Amino acid sequence: MLNYTIKRLALAVVIVSVAMFLLFSMIYLIPGDPAAVALGPRATEAMREALRIKMGLDQPVWVQFWNFFANAWTGDLGREVLSERPVSHVVMEQLPFTLALIAGGITWSVALGIPLGCWAAVKRGSWADRVVGVLSVAVIAVPSFVVAIYALLIFAVTLRWLPAIGAGEPGSAGDQLIHLILPSLAVGLGWVGYIARMVRASMLEVLEAQHIRTARAFGLPDRMITYQYALTIAILPTITLLGVGIGQMLSSAVFAEIVFARPGVGKLVYDAILTRNYPLVTGAVLVTTVLFVLINLVADLLIGALDPRVRSRF
């Protein structure tokens, strides 16, 4: 397990480094002078020159790359162009909102997906199974931003059951939770389908297993066999699936944050692009990428700890 952990960790570090390199080359390739873009058309040549030196743009490319790289690994992502606040602070301020949104999405998908998948597996071949199957495919197919807009239209604008805008009063947990319901539904709905299908498939496999048959032969109640013996094993594969899922939810979160005017990293990047605040764009993209790699790392290590076969494949 130690060997596997070290290899998987090394891979994560390499992936983040390559991602950094790709990001850096991208900023480098952006047409135009970043200093001129940042200061706008009314800046004097002297101001531009000063900013260029401050941003390190007068150095050779490889020095610039090394600085970017070394600073990023120590958590220094540079400063915002206008307010001069450290990018890492700005991103960290917004990150909790996005994480809460994703946690909400996971809650929706697990709370609906696992019971639906389990039910479909137990009632295999019945109309209930078919309905769950078609529904799962359908919610996977529909893009999250359409779900967000329609949810906004139905529950916030027409029925007025839930708030449409913002993240709620800063101090009040209840208000924040109410503001989380619709955006997190938009983020998590597709994953209800994925999880239901996954749980159904692995439940069907587990229900055929020897120890379940033995349990049946001993006359244990069906309820106990399904939920205590079968489901606990059948849930395992969904852990890796959630690793991938969180990455996709990060994408959906961008839309949910924009549609519901919530603070968060996605909205931060979007606004930064519209105002050409490039250090903020790269910083925030880098943070979410690292987050994504970390989540996948944790998911892989978890599944490696639970299933020795995965370790040996490495």
Q: Which residues bind another protein (CB under 8 A)?
A: 11, 14-16, 18-19, 22-23, 26, 29-30, 134, 137-138, 140-143, 145-146, 149-150, 152-153, 157-158, 197, 201, 247-248, 250-252, 254-255, 258-259, 266, 269-270, 273, 276, 278, 281-282, 285, 288-289, 292-293, 296
Q: Name the minimum Å distance from CB 5 to another protein.
A: 18
CB 203 within 8 A of CB 121: yes
Closest by CA position to 241, among listed 308, 303, 314 = 303
CB 19 within 8 A of CB 73: no
Q: Name the minimum Å distance from CB 280 to another protein.
A: 11
**Burial group, residue 277, by CB count within 10 angstroms (0-12, 13-18, 19+):** buried
Q: Nearer Cβ to another protein, position 26 or 306? A: 26
Q: Name the minimum Å distance from CB 170 to another protein.
A: 26
Q: Nearer Cβ to another protein, position 225 or 245? A: 245
CB 295 within 8 A of CB 241: no
CB 85 within 8 A of CB 165: no
Q: What is the CA radius of gyration of the chain?
A: 24
Q: Nearer Cβ to another protein, position 146 or 306? A: 146
Contacts of 95 (CB under 8 A, 6+ apart): 264, 265, 287
**In one letter, which amino acid is 29?**
L
Q: Nearer Cβ to another protein, position 137 or 224? A: 137
**In one letter, which amino acid is 141?**
A
Q: Nearer Cβ to another protein, position 152 or 167? A: 152
Q: Name the minimum Å distance from CB 263 to another protein.
A: 17
**Assigned token pair, 68:** 């970017």
Q: Nearer Cβ to another protein, position 113 or 215? A: 113
Q: Nearer Cβ to another protein, position 109 or 282? A: 282
Q: Name the minimum Å distance from CB 173 to another protein.
A: 28
Spatial distance between the Cα atoms of 119 and 188, rounded to a whole number of angstroms = 20
**Assigned token pair, 109:** 């998908």
Q: Name the minimum Å distance from CB 89 to another protein.
A: 20
**In one letter, which amino acid is 34?**
P
Distances (CA, A) of 314 to 11, 252, 290: 11, 31, 22
Q: Name the minimum Å distance from CB 148 to another protein.
A: 9
Q: Name the minimum Å distance from CB 25 to another protein.
A: 10
The DSSP string of 38-85 is HH-TT--HHHHHHHHHHTTTTS-HHHHHHHHHHHHHTT---B-SSS--
Q: Nearer Cβ to another protein, position 184 or 225? A: 184
